[in-house]
Amino acid sequence: MKTNFTKNIGLYVLDELRLAKQARENTNYSLEFTYLENAHVLGQGSTYWHTKVHILMLIWALRTADTKEFVGQFLRIVGAISKTCLGLVPIGNTEGTNISPFKTLPVSEKLASKIKQARQ
């Protein structure tokens, strides 16, 4: 069963995933990952979206032959499944392997506004 937050944030996450797909179709894989990171920040309060975005990041790593990212995303999927529902996620963390999975980061005003709207 999806929570209200999961339902509400879904529209915003899907917007970022649509932009990621467009970037991928234009072979701009760096920009694609940026949109996946945005989707992650938006959806990390929902086990469903948090896990889904990590799976998409894992697929990105596989497609781009980024072994470090692939291993990191595999581990992060386990964390998303087991820790999100307990609220054990570092807010704002974009979750690429270039960032510690335990580090809290500032959330952009644009994304913070969308998260706030989804929580209402």
**Tens-place pLDDT, residues 42-88:** 999 999 999 999 999 999 999 999 999 999 999 999 999 999 999 88
Share of the chain above pLDDT 70, in %: 98
- Flag whether pLDDT at 1 surpasses 60: no
**Residue spans per domain, the chain:** 4-119
**Tens-place pLDDT, residues 77-90:** 999 999 999 988 98
Contacts of residue 20, defined as CB under 8 A and 6 or more positions apart, other chains included, come to 32, 33, 35, 36, 39, 56
